[in-house]
Amino acid sequence: MTSSADSSSWPLWEVFIRSSRGLSHVHAGSLHAPDATMAIRNARDLYTRRNEGTSVWVVPAEAIMASDPDSKGAYFESAQGKSYRHATYYTQSEGVKHL
Amino acid sequence: MSFASHDSATRQSQGEAITAEEIAESGAKADDATARYALLLGDDSLILAQRLSAWISRAPELEEDVALANISLDLLGHARFLLTYAGTAWGKSEDDLAYFRGEEEFRSCRLVEQENGDFGKTIARQLIFSFYQHELYSRLVHSTDATLAAIAEKALKEVDYHQDHAAQWILRLGLGTEESARRVQAGLDSVWSYVEELFTDVEPMTSLGEIAVLPSTLREPTLTRLHQVIEQAGLSIPDMSGAHGADRSGRHSEQRGFILAEMQVLARQHPGATW
């Protein structure tokens, strides 16, 4: 409660909502809040007004290390042309039914 | 739907929300005293909803705009149920009662009529009123009047959140900076003299038996919880007696006329208008 007293605006939080049991939490958006407890309240007000969720997570935005959007190619396209990564060339041994 | 049946209204499954229209169509008809009680409760919610709506675009952060707007809309919903039900006794609609009654005919308590002031004062008023309302509705769910019980059950879940919101803010303002503590304490001081009125037994509550909740039974539990959270926030309970004439018998504060003028002007200039 005292940590952000001298900053001019509240820190940013990322909101994740699980829509039903068995599914994973999905990013819903972001919001500002003075602390984690209030971030959960604000998330409820901003993102769960229409029965969206069964569970809400909030994460300080600064705690998330994200990949660089400009390096998309280097990160995600390098697998192209490397079909040996997909186990489609192997012949299935006889008698193995449930591979 | 099941709501029309008097013995099942309180046993609706959670999440099967009632609407003001369903109350109007249910055929449930309030008698005069029950209607006056519903009207008194509805007036409190209606006036506070109107007050809180003034925060939209004015709150400290966008997130708080949304939070106060949500609380305002919840209260407006409760007012619609209660006014609609009250109207069944006199053949009036919720709009007749909200927009075409005069200042003297409202029965809202003076606490909700108080001007918003700064955020600290608004939160002080929210704290007191939501704690009071939570005690009230958690008893009104046992009302022998099925419609009132159903309305209380719906409202209770929402008021549960209102009191949490207010309590969280009292703690942050009270334990925040010197300035935030000073301002929220000033807010408590400026509204505390209107607390006593909430707990005064008056007609029609005194003649309704198990239909209504007797306000005096709410004094001790409400004040105990208020004292706890106010002390936890490092603030002090204002030492003052109730404002003169604090009895809900129709006396009102000078602010009521202004807020009604603002709320009623459109409906009165264009009767029957829809938007």
A63 vs A2, more confident: A63
Please state the pTM of the whole predicted model: 0.85
Alpha carbon distance, N-terminus to C-terminus of chain B: 28
Summarised one tens digit per residue, pLDDT across range B146-156 is: 999 999 999 99
Nearest CA to CA, how far is B170 from chain A (Å)? 12
Count of C-beta atoms within a 10 Å radius of residue B15:
7
What pLDDT score does B241 carry? 79
pLDDT score for B204: 94
Please tell me if residue B178 touches chain A, with a CB cutoff of 8 Å.
Answer: no
Please report the pLDDT score of residue B15 as a whole number: 44
Alpha carbon dihedral B25, B28, B33, B39, in 10-degree steps, equals -30
Bigger pLDDT: B3 vs B251:
B251
Say how many C-beta atoms besides its own lie within 10 A of residue A54's C-beta.
13
All domains of chain B in start order, with CATH: 28-237+247-269 (1.20.1260.10)
Give the pLDDT confidence score for residue B12 in this predicted structure.
36
Q: Residue ranges of the domains in chain A?
A: 10-84
Tally of CA atoms within 13 A in the half-sphere of B238 that contains its CB? 20
Check whether B231 has a pLDDT greater than 60.
yes
Q: What is the mean pLDDT of residues A25-52?
A: 91
Task: List pLDDT tens digits, range B23-32.
Answer: 888 888 999 9
**In this prediction, does ipTM exceed 0.90?**
no
Our CA-based measurement puts residue B166 at a distance from the nearest CA of chain A, in whole angstroms, of: 11
The percentage of chain B sitting over the pLDDT mark of 90, rounded to a whole number, equals 81
For residue A44, the chain B residues in CB contact (below 8 A) are 161
Mean pLDDT throughout B17-37?
A: 90
Contacts of B172 in chain A (CB under 8 A): 1, 34-35, 38
Q: Which of A2, A5, A33 shows the shortest C-beta gap to B63?
A: A33
B237 touches A: beta carbon within 8 Å: no
Q: What is the pLDDT of residue A2?
A: 44
Gap between the terminal Cα atoms of chain A = 55
Q: Is the pLDDT of residue B143 over 90?
A: yes
The average confidence (pLDDT) of chain B is 91
Name every chain A residue with its beta carbon within 8 A of the beta carbon of B165: 41
Q: Which residues in chain B are closer than 8 Å to A34, comparing Cβ atoms?
A: 172
Greater confidence (B89 vs B28) lies with: B89
Reference B156, options B173, B143, B175; nearest CA is: B143
For residue A15, what is the enclosing H or E element? strand A12-18
Q: Compute CA B166 distance to the chain's CA centroid, rounded to the nearest angstrom.
A: 14
Decide which of 3.10.20.520, 3.30.930.10, 3.40.50.300, 3.40.50.970 is the CATH code for A10-84: 3.10.20.520
Residue recorded with tokens 């929300």: B17
The distance of B165 to chain A (nearest Cα, Å) reads: 8
